[in-house]
Amino acid sequence: MELTTHEAAARLGVSQARVRALINSGGLTARRVGTLWLIDAASIEHQRGLTTAGATSRAMSPRVAWAAADLADGGAAAWLSATERSRLRRRLSSTTEVDVVRRWTSRRANSTHRYKVGPRDLTALLTDRRVTRTGISAVESYRLGLGTGGDADIYVSSEDLEQLVRGYVLLPTGRGNLTVRVDDVGLYRAATRTIEGRLVVPRLIAGADLADDTDARTRSAGRRLLTEVLTGQGWERRTRR
């Protein structure tokens, strides 16, 4: 089911301009038909969940969101001060609510784009060292028991994206099989893990990206991964081994 920007705005309780901003940032899944945007109803419901969580929580800045993910997987989040890290650990230990954490990490990417890419080029792209896997492309690394269905999800810088578009013949389309999330600060690189030779983002980021998907099984896997992170060992004691 798809809704217009007017209908989506009414459902979310925001202006149509805000709906268009959410489309541009990747917060809502939509396709353009002539001069109209048609928005996927499932993505609207997910955004409503984030809005509800936002009533009692505030989105973290990108540097803090990525630091949270790094700390959760035993990293040092070295770009924060010791005081900031201590404050962040306390904040993270204060909740096990998945939607609250999704809200906290909602600014993790500067922008999100969709492309269509052929199977051979996609396989090669995922081994490119300029690319870090997330979402559906991280399910194997985190043993979530999902197939990719020929889809992929990655983080890159905008500079690298321009080169990748040319090199791998990426065709922009709202319903492509490749999701590209742009982070120009380089936080995704600082927090990247190498698991069995694959470059992947931390679980908190991968889980949040999965939980934003329009597919029910994919969303469920993301929520399970986030719950695993949030109910793990105490934040104050967690350090990388």
Q: What CATH number is attached to the domain comprising 15?
A: 1.10.1660
Q: In this structure, are 127 and 10 located in the same domain?
A: no
- Three-state DSSP class for 241? coil
Neighbours of 207 (CB within 10 A): 32
Domain final residue, candidates 54, 69, 93: 54
Percent of the chain with pLDDT over 70: 93
Written as six digits, the tokens of 150 are 């020929």
Least trusted range by pLDDT, from 89-93, 167-171, 186-190: 89-93
Give the count of domains, the chain: 2
Percent of the chain with pLDDT over 90: 68
151 burial class (0-12, 13-18, 19+ CB within 10 angstroms)?
middle
216 burial class (0-12, 13-18, 19+ CB within 10 angstroms)?
exposed
Written as six digits, the tokens of 67 are 């630091």
Q: In this structure, are 165 and 235 located in the same domain?
A: yes
Domain final residue, candidates 14, 35, 54: 54
Sign of CA dihedral 179, 188, 147, 226: negative
Q: In this structure, are 18 and 93 located in the same domain?
A: no
User: What pLDDT does residue 240 have?
Assistant: 42
**Mean pLDDT, to the nearest integer, of 1-30?**
88
Q: In this structure, are 120 and 27 located in the same domain?
A: no
Q: Is the pLDDT of residue 48 over 90?
A: no
Q: Is the pLDDT of residue 235 over 60?
A: no
Q: Is the pLDDT of residue 112 over 60?
A: yes
Closest CA to 156 of 119, 193, 205, 110: 110
Q: How far apart are alpha carbons 136 and 215 in whole angstroms?
A: 11
What are φ and ψ of residue 157, in 5° steps? -90, 160
Q: Predicted confidence band at 47 (pLDDT cuts at 50, 70, 90)?
A: confident
Q: Is the pLDDT of residue 65 over 60?
A: yes
16: domain range?
A: 2-54
**Mean pLDDT, to the nearest integer, of 24-50?**
82
Q: In this structure, are 179 and 145 located in the same domain?
A: yes
Residue 21's identity, in one-letter code, is: A
On whether the CB atoms of residues 28 and 22 are closer than 8 A, the answer is yes
Rounded to the nearest integer, the mean pLDDT of the chain is 90
Domain final residue, candidates 54, 72, 89: 54
Q: In this structure, are 131 and 34 located in the same domain?
A: no
Q: In this structure, are 29 and 65 located in the same domain?
A: no
